[in-house]
Structure 1
Amino acid sequence: LMFNRKKAVHLIVDGLPAHKKAIVKDYVASTAGKLTLHFLPGYAPDLNPDELVWSHVKRNGAARRPLQKGEKLGPRIHEQLAQIGRNPKLVRSFFRHPCVRYISDS
């Protein structure tokens, strides 16, 4: 992310403990202001585009039909996420949602 970077990067992250580790803080400090971490509030699903993806999965996929005998939830979810990833228009729509427009310039 930072390799050969000319402009500063403002990275929005959630409260995952790994984001707050000393090694991360040290790395951010070593970038001399070229990387800034902005933390989402402790519970802010409405500000997190990941939550929009999971909401889509629940509304349109895995939760819409029961698992069949012998079927595992993990592979079904992975396939649905892969389908989402192959649909650039859908992926962009998550970032255009009014609650997460802060992420992009559009």
Structure 2
Amino acid sequence: LVKDYVASTQSKLTLHFLPGYAPDLNPDELVWSHVKRTGVARRPLQKGEKLGSKIHEQLSQISRDPCLVRSFFGHQSVRYISDV
């Protein structure tokens, strides 16, 4: 069913079969790496701060920066995803 659908898109959609565990091929891992390098891991939580809230705040900041988001997809290991 999926192969038939992909074929019907006239090459506008392609399938990429990835290994079961391949974090280096996953742009989400690049986002988490960025969060760890630049965010909450760089500064201990202050009294009363919640880790979840701080992470959500940082992810929200990332989502408002289109250049940064594009950079995750432009990384050599995930270029298969797009032509960015």
2-side partners of 1:43 and 1:62: how far apart? Answer: 26
Superposition misfits of 4+ residues, deviation over 3 angstroms: 35-39
SS of aligned partner of 1:34:
helix
* Code of the aligned partner of 1:74: G
Measured after TM superposition, the shift of residue 105 of structure 1 is 2.0
Aligned residue for 1:62?
40
Alpha-carbon deviation of 1:39?
A: 4.4
2:21 maps to what in 1? 43
Please tell me whether residue 80 in structure 1 is matched to residue 51 in structure 2: no
Q: Equivalent residues in 2 for 1:6-25 (5 A)?
A: none
Q: Percent identity?
A: 77
Relative contact order (alpha carbons < 8 A, sep ≥ 6): 1 or 2 greater? 2
Aligned length: 77
Question: How far apart in 2 are the matches of 1:54 and 1:75?
Answer: 15
* TM-score, with structure 1 as normaliser: 0.66
| Range with greater deviation from structure 2 (64-73 or 33-42) | 33-42
Q: What does residue 53 of structure 1 align with?
A: 31
CA separation of 1:32/1:39 partners in 2, compared to 1, >3 Å: closer, same or farther?
closer
Which structure has greater strand proportion? Answer: 1
Match of 2:5 among 15, 34, 43: 34
- TM-score (norm. length: structure 2): 0.82
- TM-align CA RMSD: 1.7
Query: Which blocks of at least 5 consecutive residues in structure 2 are unaligned?
Result: 7-13
Higher fraction of helix: 2
